[in-house]
Each structure stands twice: as structure tokens, then as C-alpha cells.
């Protein structure tokens, strides 16, 4: 996932202060100011699990409710960086569209679109790729992680961070009247677009910032410098049900390691029942000494909006087996309304196609306008006579 869904992961931890820090030259240097616009993307590669939902999609819904200017993309091109089945990818794109709508994303309030339907992404990717270096891309942790066991590494896996950067930069928003006073609005003010990410997902934003600055320095001010909106950090506590030392992940080969939004009630009950805990029957919260049962308490806490202390108090007198049943029943009740909506949207294929088509048209209008500026800056497009100086009767 970019955002969670499109952002390269880092093994290092960064504080919010460092993420949003601004140098003195950045603050005092006059230049165009950009209204805030949020972009995020999600890959259509399998069912969304509880961690994806709480940590990313639910956060997007909150931003939508705050009337933020937001663009969400189903980044299907990123789903092709590793071998895929074309028919399955098509199904997953519509499944993801239905899932986002079922979770509360409103296409009347945000732009929701299919990445591959907007050609500007790949054109800007090429332009940015021409100023990127192999050394920088090869240093990214996610590339190292995914390629370490590969004999033949796909080129797409190597360059996809540049496409992620293009995904973000192509949707800058510009005021009709550009303000040239010093940018001192706030730590991340109005000079940049914003990308919701988790604490461990900042490497791609850093690359995006580097490429934006590099382009601006070489070809003139063009892109805002995007910054992270750190969201859903508390949901990093969600762990695998089968191995609580690992994060819950849809790439885990064991389906019993996670709870997916579309799981049937019996599957939810089975997965919770088989969750790894320990030999202590009492329900107590201790992530270090009792990671398994603590993970179940965290899940229970998140879906009920109750504190860990409240959960443990309510579970007094229950053994872990009985408590697992409580958690399973709570999850089934919590997910049912979302599942019903997803099923309803999936039953109307034409509506899903219409949503993607309309969103892609809106995204194309914005991205093409911004790409025109890039083409001029790179010398790929000629200005009209009225915009250029005439030399020897020629423009």
C-alpha cells in the first residue's frame, strides 16, 4: 500500500519533527505557494486486511470528512512490478474499488481513479527517471528486501519508486494568483502536496522530495516539495495472528495470519481461535512478555474504541479461549456493515466502471495541465509566438 500503499519502507525510525523540518532558506526564500492537496494510492493486490483498513483507508475517510482536497488512486501499474495474472488483476481493480466505496470513500467528495487510465503518470515517470540515478534507487530498502532472493530482477521493481514520485508530483495544485511572500504559515504550510503515510514509510517521500528539488533546480520552479502526513501510527501494533513478532500482512502465505475485510464469519472465528497466544489463561496486556494475547486485545480495542484497560477489565474471569470467542464475535459484528456495502457495490459492475471512468477523467484534466508545464520546462513543447522572443523572424 502507497501512500500504505505506495511508499517504500525504511528500517530507520524518524521523528515527526525531522519529517516536517524546514531549513531557513526554505522558509525565507520567496516563491510560489501551493494549496494543500492530499494524494494517496493503494495497490489492487489481494484482500484488504484489518491493519490496512484501520491504518490507511479509515484515515482517508477521516480526511474526506474534514473536506480535504484529496486524490486517491488504485495504482494498478505498481501491481505489475512482479509477475501477475491479467484476469486476476482486472478482478482486483474492481474489488478494490468496491472495497474503498464500501469503507466510506465518496467519489463525489474525492477523486478516485485507476492509475493506468491516466497517461501523465508514466510520461512524468520517464522525465523524472532521466534525472534519477541507479545508485540512489538501488539504495532503497524495499528494493533490497524484495530483490534479495531473485535471480532475474524485473526492471519495474527497480524503477517503481520513480513512478510513485510521479504519482504524487503530477497532482500539484496552483493558485491563480501566486503569492511571493516568505512561506512561514506552518511546519508544512501550503507550499507542498501531502501524502498520508505510516512512521516507517518515509523513504519514498524523501526520494520524492529529492527529485522535486532536483527538477526545480535544473529546470526552474515547477513542483511543490511534498511532505508526509503521519497517520495511523497506533495501528502498527497490529501483528500477525500466527507470529506476533511480525506485522499483519496480506503477503503472508498463511491466510490464518490475518483478518480480511471480506472474510466470512466462520473464517474470522477460525483465525482468531487459532491465534498464537501462550499458556497463561488470564487476559492481560503485555506486548513484550505476552505479544499474542496483547495483539488480540489491541484488535479488540481498535474496533470498539475502548482502551486497553477497559478491555482487560471487561475480560476479568475469562480465559484466553473464552476471550478469543469474544474478539471473534466483536469482529464479525464490526465488519458486517462494511461487508454488506462491498457486496452491494460488487453486484453493480457498471457503477464501479463509471466511478473509475469519471475519476480518471478528473485526474487526467489536472495531470495533463501540470504535465504541459513540465514539457515546456524540458524543451519538449514549443511556446507560441506571443510567449517567445522572435529571433531572425523565427520563434
Active site residue: 88, 109, 250, 362, which one? 250
Q: What is the largest CA-CA distance in the chain?
A: 92
DSSP string for 311-326: HHHHTTT-BHHHHHHH
User: φ and ψ at 210, to 5 degrees?
Assistant: -60, -45
Q: Is 240 exposed, middle or buried (0-12, 13-18, 19+ CB in 10 A)?
A: buried
Catalytic annotation present for 250: yes
Distances (CA, A) of 272 to 146, 306, 323: 29, 19, 10
Residue showing cell 510520461: 123
Active site residue: 36, 146, 172, 324, which one? 146
Active site residue: 62, 88, 109, 247, which one? 247
3-state class (DSSP) for residue 194: strand
DSSP string for 147-185: HTT-SS--HHHHHHHHHHHHHHHTT----SS---S---S
Q: How far apart are CA 34 and CA 351, in angstroms?
A: 34
Alpha helices in 66-154 (DSSP H): 86-102, 120-129, 134-138, 141-147
Q: How far apart are CA 105 and CA 356, in angstroms?
A: 13
Q: Where in the sequence numbering do the catalytic residues fall?
A: 146, 247, 250
Amino acid at each position: 500500500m502507497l501512500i500504505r500503499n505506495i511508499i517504500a519502507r525504511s528500517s530507520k525510525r524518524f521523528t515527526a519533527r525531522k519529517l516536517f523540518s524546514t531549513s531557513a532558506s526554505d522558509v525565507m526564500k520567496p516563491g510560489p505557494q501551493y494549496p494543500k492537496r492530499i494524494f494517496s494510492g493503494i495497490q489492487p493486490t489481494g484482500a484488504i486486511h484489518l491493519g490496512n483498513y484501520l491504518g490507511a483507508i479509515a484515515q482517508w475517510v477521516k480526511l474526506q470528512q474534514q473536506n480535504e482536497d484529496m486524490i486517491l488512486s488504485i495504482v494498478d501499474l505498481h501491481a505489475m512490478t512482479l509477475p501477475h495474472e491479467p484476469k486476476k488483476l482486472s478482478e482486483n481493480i474492481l474489488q478494490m474499488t468496491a472495497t474503498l466505496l464500501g469503507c466510506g470513500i465518496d467519489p463525489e467528495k474525492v477523486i478516485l481513479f485507476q492509475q493506468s487510465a491516466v497517461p501523465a503518470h508514466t510520461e512524468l515517470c520517464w522525465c523524472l527517471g532521466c534525472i534519477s540515478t541507479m545508485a540512489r534507487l538501488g539504495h532503497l530498502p524495499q528494493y533490497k528486501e524484495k530483490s534479495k532472493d531473485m535471480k532475474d530482477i524485473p526492471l519495474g521493481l527497480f524503477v517503481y519508486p520513480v513512478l510513485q514520485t510521479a504519482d504524487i508530483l503530477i497532482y500539484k495544485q496552483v493558485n491563480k494568483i501566486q503569492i511571493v511572500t516568505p512561506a512561514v504559515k506552518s511546519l508544512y504550510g501550503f507550499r507542498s502536496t501531502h501524502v498520508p503515510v505510516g512512521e516507517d514509510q518515509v523513504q519514498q517521500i524523501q526520494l520524492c522530495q529529492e527529485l522535486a528539488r532536483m527538477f526545480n533546480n535544473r529546470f526552474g520552479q515547477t513542483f511543490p516539495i511534498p511532505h508526509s502526513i503521519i497517520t495511523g501510527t497506533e495501528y502498527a501494533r497490529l501483528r500477525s495472528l500466527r507470529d506476533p513478532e511480525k506485522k499483519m500482512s496480506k503477503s503472508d502465505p498463511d491466510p490464518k495470519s490475518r483478518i480480511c475485510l471480506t472474510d466470512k464469519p466462520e473464517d474470522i472465528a477460525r483465525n482468531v481461535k487459532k491465534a498464537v497466544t501462550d499458556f497463561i489463561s488470564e487476559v492481560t496486556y503485555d506486548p513484550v512478555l505476552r505479544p499474542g494475547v496483547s495483539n488480540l486485545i489491541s484488535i479488540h480495542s481498535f474496533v470498539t474504541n475502548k482502551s486497553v484497560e477497559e478491555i482487560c477489565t471487561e475480560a476479568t474471569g475469562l480465559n484466553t479461549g473464552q476471550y478469543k470467542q469474544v474478539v471473534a464475535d466483536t469482529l464479525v459484528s464490526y465488519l458486517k456493515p462494511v461487508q454488506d456495502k462491498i457486496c452491494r457495490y460488487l453486484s453493480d459492475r457498471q457503477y464501479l466502471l463509471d466511478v473509475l471512468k469519471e475519476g480518471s477523467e478528473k485526474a487526467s484534466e489536472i495531470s495533463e495541465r501540470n504535465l504541459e508545464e513540465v514539457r515546456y520546462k524540458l524543451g519538449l513543447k514549443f511556446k507560441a509566438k506571443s510567449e517567445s522572443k522572435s529571433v531572425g523572424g523565427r520563434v
